[in-house]
């Protein structure tokens, strides 16, 4: 079991008291591809980031169990966490325009990730960076290595991110909406790249998205979150037989070319879902 979450609770202080962003979420992850789906504010990003304890400093976290490969993340000190982050688990964020350091070249950022965890000389790291860029299917890795993030397109930037996070050869990859900022044509490419690399390296993957069909296509299991809670947990192949009304609502309001509908369905939110 790579990751184990039991009754995770994340709260934020507001002028009117503590507000719950994630309430009592439990899930487990092995060497598989897990998709977490939900709308904005459902708490999916926070849940995933809590595995590496990368939450904002004012967040109040508590859980019955929050472990990574048996290590208790909640009570771990900074140096233990630093040995997990990067080396054993990586995080890809949504928009490379913001998630890449604007004043460091792509190559330098990847080389840094390599050197911190694997040691070695600067030259070795630079060469490794170029190799990694080739692995993420960049055609001219040397030029990209010397380029700054603002000189790269969205797709290329995400490839750089992926290369950077895979450099230390981790066991788990958390991808937080990795394609939401990209064009539709590039989205599929990037996801296929991630899937390919993850399978070849035998890694676990947590894919966070608001796009249900996308997640069901690329993942083994799907978890649906709503208002800070898990409302459905199902194998990707069984998604069409989902039972929770929210998931059904999501499925039904998708436009499809195969089944003609007179009108698109609108999601009807039932307030009882908030207490489920």
Partner 1 sequence: MLASSFASIPITLFGLILVTFLIGRVMPIDPVIAIAGDHAPPDVVAAIRERLGLDKPLYVQFGIYLRDLLHGDLGHSVMTSHPVTEDIARFFPATFELATTAIIIAIIIGIPLGVLAAQRQGSRFDHVVRVVSLAGQSIPVFVLGLVCLLVFYVKLGIAPGTGQIDVEYEGLVPRVTGMLVVDAMIAGDWDSFWNALAHLAQPALVLAYFSMAYITRMTRAFMIESLSGEYIITARAKGLSATRILWRHAFGNISVRLVTVLALAYAGLLEGAVITETVFSWPGLGLYLTVSLLNADMNAVLGATLVVGLIYLVLNLMADLLYRLLDPRVA
By the criterion CB under 8 A, which residues form the site for partner 1? 52, 54, 78, 82-87, 90-91, 93, 95, 98-104, 112-113, 116-117, 148, 150, 161, 164-165, 168
For residues 85 and 221, which CB has a smaller minimum distance to partner 1 in the complex? 85
Q: Say if residue 107 is exposed, middle or buried (CB neighbours under 10 Å; 0-12, 13-18, 19+).
A: buried
Let me know: does 99 contact 110? Beta carbons within 8 Å.
Answer: no
Q: Which helix (H) or strand (E) holds 67?
A: strand 65-68
57 vs 121 by CB, closer to partner 1: 57
DSSP-assigned beta bridge partners for residue 233 = 223
* Minimum CB distance to partner 1, residue 148 (Å): 5
5 vs 113 by CB, closer to partner 1: 113
- Between 133 and 227, whose beta carbon lies closer to partner 1? 133
Minimal distance, residue 52 CB to partner 1, in Å:
6
Our CA angle for 73, 79, 82, nearest 5°, is: 70
Q: How far is the CB of 96 from partner 1 (least distance, A)?
A: 9
**Listed residue (172, 170, 173, 168) closest to 120, CA to CA:** 168
Residue nearer to partner 1 on the CB measure, 170 or 245: 170
Residues 253, 267 contacting (CB under 8 angstroms): yes
Q: Alpha-carbon distance 53 to 204, whole Å?
A: 18
Please report how close the Cβ of residue 231 comes to partner 1 at its closest, in angstroms.
27
Distance of closest approach, residue 100 Cβ to partner 1, in angstroms: 6
- Which tokens sit at 162? 């992926």
């Amino acid at each position: 079991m790579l990751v184990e979450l039991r009754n995770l609770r994340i709260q934020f202080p507001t002028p009117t008291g503590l507000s719950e962003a994630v309430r009592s979420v439990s899930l487990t992850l092995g060497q598989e591809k897990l998709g977490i789906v939900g709308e904005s504010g459902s708490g999916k990003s926070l849940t995933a980031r809590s595995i590496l304890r990368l939450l904002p400093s004012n967040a109040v976290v508590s859980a019955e169990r929050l472990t990574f490969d048996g290590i208790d993340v909640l009570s771990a000190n900074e140096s233990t966490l630093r040995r997990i982050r990067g080396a054993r688990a990586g995080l890809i964020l949504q928009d490379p325009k913001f998630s890449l350091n604007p004043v460091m070249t792509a190559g330098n950022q990847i080389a840094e990730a390599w050197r911190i965890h694997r040691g070695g000389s600067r030259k070795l790291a630079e060469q490794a960076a170029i190799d990694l860029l080739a692995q993420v299917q960049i055609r001219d890795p040397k030029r990209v290595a010397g380029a700054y993030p603002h000189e790269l397109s969205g797709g290329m930037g995400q490839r750089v991110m992926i290369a950077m996070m895979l450099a230390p050869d981790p066991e788990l990859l958390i991808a937080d909406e990795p394609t939401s900022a990209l064009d539709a044509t590039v989205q599929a490419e990037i996801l296929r790249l991630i899937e390919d690399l993850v399978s070849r390296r035998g890694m676990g993957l947590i894919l966070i998205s608001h796009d249900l069909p996308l997640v069901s296509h690329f993942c083994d299991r799907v978890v649906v979150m709503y208002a800070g809670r898990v409302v459905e947990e199902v194998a990707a192949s069984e998604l069409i037989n989902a039972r929770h009304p929210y998931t059904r609502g999501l499925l039904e309001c998708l436009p499809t070319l195969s089944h003609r509908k007179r009108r698109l369905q609108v999601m009807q939110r039932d307030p009882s879902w908030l207490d489920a």
